[in-house]
Structure 1
Amino acid sequence: MQLQSESNPALNTVTAYGEGYIEINRVSYAHPVYFAPEGEIHTWQVQAAAEITADALRTLTGLNDARPDPMAFLNGADGAGKPDDAPEVVIIGTGGRQHLLPAHVIAPLLRVGIGIEAMSTEAAARTYNILMSEGRRVLVALLPNQETA
């Protein structure tokens, strides 16, 4: 399905998707990807929704690279820092069907104030495009829909 008839080449826009592919700025990808409105399109090592772990989400958002907050204990936090360029929200496209992520998987992002939503890849692509066009700091990770036999 084509989403955008026109796209701004300066911003990463999901322009189409279908069985086994995701198209960003008119370039087709047959593997999982993640990206923000600006910057490069990255290959995501996760191949299925069941493989999404807290560590995978921390890596995706850069939380593993953030410096710990030594005063976090005052707020009851665990000291995990949030990068200055961290997204406001992370959208996970889980393929052809929505797969909700367990609470323990999303907890590290929620603790530092990053929202996270899991939905079908089609819904995630549309939601990302809307948030991106509003100028929001959004990060999206998309698993292509797998062909069914």
Structure 2
Amino acid sequence: MHLNEIDYGNARPIEGYGPGFFRIAGEVYQGALLVTADETESWGGFDDIATLLTFAGQVDVLFIGNGPLMGPIPKAFRDSLEEAGIGIEPMATDAACRTFNVLLSEGRRVAAALLPM
């Protein structure tokens, strides 16, 4: 089996996650986060749509990590992002982290809004 090293360039991958925390580019963060290739900041959850709307035209897809299990996205939240042209992919947080990293390594314009596990 041949393994390839992943090169993220200057991007900041999600290196780990666990109950209530994320490790991104060597730093540990607590609580819900918004992660892009070069930034990590706190996110207020589904009530914080305004922060996500700033990504209109800047990302191809926004992964929504719903915590430990895949769950429904509030309709108003989904509608607001879709009206702004932001495609979303809801999934469990662990899957959102892994998928974010794969697309990040491909140089894609991605972001992840993550609720902790």
* Residue of structure 1 in register with 2:94 after alignment: 122
Q: Which has the higher contact order (CA 8 A, sep 6+)?
A: 2
SS in 1 for 2:94: helix
CA shift in 2, pair 1:114/1:128, >3 Å: same
5+ residue gaps in structure 2? Answer: none
How many Å separate the matches in 2 of 1:18 and 1:35? 16
Distance 1:9 1:33, change over 3 A: farther
In the aligned structure 2, how far is the partner of 1:31 from the partner of 1:132? 22
Q: How many corresponding residue pairs?
A: 113
Distance of 2:31 and 2:23 partners within structure 1: 11
1:16 and 2:39 equivalent?
no
Which 4+ runs in 1 deviate beyond 3 A? Answer: 5-9
Q: How does 1:1-149 map to 2 (within 5 A)?
A: 8=8, 10-38=10-38, 40-46=39-45, 52-53=46-47, 56-62=48-54, 82=56, 84=57, 86-145=58-117
Separation in 1, partners of 2:8, 2:81: 29
Relative to total residues, which structure has the larger strand share, 1 or 2? 2
Query: What stretches of structure 1 of length at least 5 have no aligned partner?
Result: 47-51, 64-81
Contact kept, 8 Å, 1:58 with 1:109, in 2: the verdict is no
Query: How big is the shift at 1:134?
Result: 1.3
What secondary structure sits across from 1:106 in the alignment? Answer: helix
How far residue 57 of structure 1 moved from its aligned partner, in angstroms, is 2.6
TM-score scaled by structure 1?
A: 0.66
**Which of 1 and 2 has greater Rg?**
1
Q: Deviations over 1:19-70 (max 9, x none)?
A: 22111112111211112112x2111123xxxxx14xx23422316xxxxxxx
Could you tell which deviates more after superposition, 101-110 or 22-31?
A: 101-110
**2:6/2:105 contact within 8 Å kept:** no
Cα gap change, 1:12/1:61 in structure 2, threshold over 3 Å: closer, same or farther?
Answer: farther
TM-score by length of 2: 0.82
1:7 Cα shift? Answer: 6.7
Percent same amino acid at aligned positions?
A: 34
